[in-house]
Amino acid sequence: MPEIFSPLLFAQKPWYLFPLENDAFQGAGGISSLLLIVLVVVLLPKGERSRARGPAISLALYLAMLWLEHISKAFSVSLPFKHMALFVLLIGMSRSAFLLLTRSWVAQKLFHPPPQIFLDALQGAVYVCVGLITLASADINASSILTAGGVVAALFGFLMKDTLGNLLAGLAMHGEQPFEVGDWIQFNDNRAHIGRVLEINWRATKVLTLDAVEVIIPNSTLAGFPIANFTKPETFSRRSIFFVAPYSEPTERVRRIVLEAVADAWGVLTDPPPSVVTNNFLNYGVEYWVRIFTVEFGSRDRVDGGVRDRIWHALHRHGIQMPVQAHDVVLRQPEPVEQRQLRRREALRCVDFLDPLKDEQIDKLAETAELRHYATGETIIRQGDPGDELFIISSGEVQVLVSHEGEPPQEVGKMGPDQFFGEMSLMTGQSRRATIKATKGCELYVVNKAALAPILVSSEELLAVISQTLETRMKALVTHAQQPAKLDQSDAPPEPDLLQRIRNFFSV
């Protein structure tokens, strides 16, 4: 009976470690392959441990080939199972080593991972070397095989020249690394062809455009285009906004107004800071160039739109109308004076400490009240800044933010239509006690000291009544601090001699 069927075979020879006489390499190789597989399972991230399946299959094939080699010897049959076992063993070991060097969490911490296309090429080269080593162990002249393979490769290259062109172009691009997965690029002269790189493989590059359209570009085609990378070498990119203001406004004033308005717009970086330059002189006005930097390139339309909103609101509340081209005809129906005056009068009547004013005094104050527009997210007043203006909300909503001892501002309340803020700054000139930001687009009526002063100076009795009303209301607000709409002014008790402070401020 052949030795392979001997029941004592497993006890007599540890065939699974040293199945072939005088061939310790293959036994040690099996143990080494097993240890490498264990390291792959331990060191690879949890989501990638399934990659150990390939080396495990190679180890199983290796043991199977050795078993077949043992059987063939028992039957005196000469088959190349030994060399096939060496081939699958080296394939499995090289794959395990490759995973440890490129996919393990240790490698990811120590090295920046190269592009996948290079990893694939390197792995292929390793497999070719394994094949040559196997041929050498079998005493086969590899040069004749390589010669025949060269002829086949030349024929294959001719038939697959486009695919090979994409492959070589992909390798060249990855060598230069003009972009990586996640970068925003423009891949030809068409401004609509801008997108985020999703995948780079052997044949093509996959890009998701701003219109959420997936575009697959052959690498050879992509290599022939000039590529603009909006996220390299820095993660931010510059955006350009243009607008036109009238010649009657000094350019320095326009630049200052716009720069203040866009400085804290959503998506606009403070480093590098935005800038505004005078760009051109047109036949209907001066063109300005607003240059901002953002890391929100995927939301660039939202960033641009928010900056344009800020520019319009800032110019509008400063009385600057954007000119139109001379050949345009624009017909406007202005709001009747009576209706505009009525709206301002009603807004002023919402201010309780102005109740002592007579109708004619309210009308006079309404004539000087200014209507201002603020965009969503725009700061109206800042805590600690000086001021002498009262703000009455006609429409929209604002939030009240208070900061204590250098801490980040915290929201303490919100205000809506017919509410007001800034009365203590108007009456006494004290610094702002809170920061007020628009949470929605707002229309605010603004009354300043210069408009109120002639009314107060004309009547000492009126001054006393207003100060008494204001002081009473402030004390009530301190008592009922849960009214968030007035926290701008009620976070601290009023000083005792309010009337004297008002007199000093208005020089009465």
Asked if residue 165 has pLDDT above 70, the reply is no
Domain ranges of the chain: 3-159, 178-229, 237-317, 339-506
DSSP 67-126: HHHHHHHHTT---THHHHHHHHHHHHHHHHHHHHHHTSHHHHHHSPPPPHHHHHHHHHHH
Q: Which helix (DSSP H) or strand (DSSP E) does residue 322 occupy?
A: none
Q: Which helix (H) or strand (E) holds 129?
A: helix 116-137
User: How is domain 178-229 classified at the CATH fold level?
Assistant: SH3 type barrels. (2.30.30)
DSSP 384: T
Flag whether pLDDT at 261 surpasses 70: yes
Q: Name the CATH architecture for the domain at 237-317.
A: 2-Layer Sandwich (3.30)
Give the helix ranges, DSSP H, for 349-409.
359-368
Beta carbons within 8 Å of 499's beta carbon, 6+ residues apart: 463, 464, 467, 468, 471
What would be the CATH architecture of the domain defined by 339-506? Sandwich (2.60)
Looking at per-residue pLDDT, the higher value among 213 and 147 belongs to 213
Contact, 202 vs 166, CB < 8 A? yes
Question: What integer pLDDT is reported at residue 382 of this predicted model?
Answer: 92
Pick the residue with more confidence: 120 or 222?
222
The answer to whether residue 303 scores a pLDDT higher than 90 is yes
Looking at beta carbons, which pairs linking 223-226 to residues 24 or more positions away fall under 8 Å? 223/169, 223/172, 223/173, 225/187, 225/188, 226/188, 226/189
| Beta carbons of 126 and 87 less than 8 angstroms apart | no
Q: Which residue has the higher pLDDT, 325 or 53?
A: 53
Say what the pTM is. 0.59
pLDDT greater than 90 at residue 213: no
Tens of pLDDT, residue by residue over 149-161, are: 555 555 554 445 5
Average pLDDT, integer, range 133-148: 64
At 429-439, the pLDDT tens digits run 889 989 999 99
| Residues 441-471 pLDDT 10s | 899 999 999 998 888 887 777 778 888 887 7
- How is the beta sheet containing 194-200 ordered, strand by strand? 214-218, 204-209, 194-200, 184-186, 228-229
pLDDT exceeds 50 at position 395: yes
Return the closest-CA partner of residue 102 out of 177, 178, 43: 43
Residue with structure tokens 């607000």?
477
> How many other C-beta atoms lie within 10 A of the C-beta of residue 273?
12
- Do 87 and 132 contact (CB within 8 A), yes or no? no
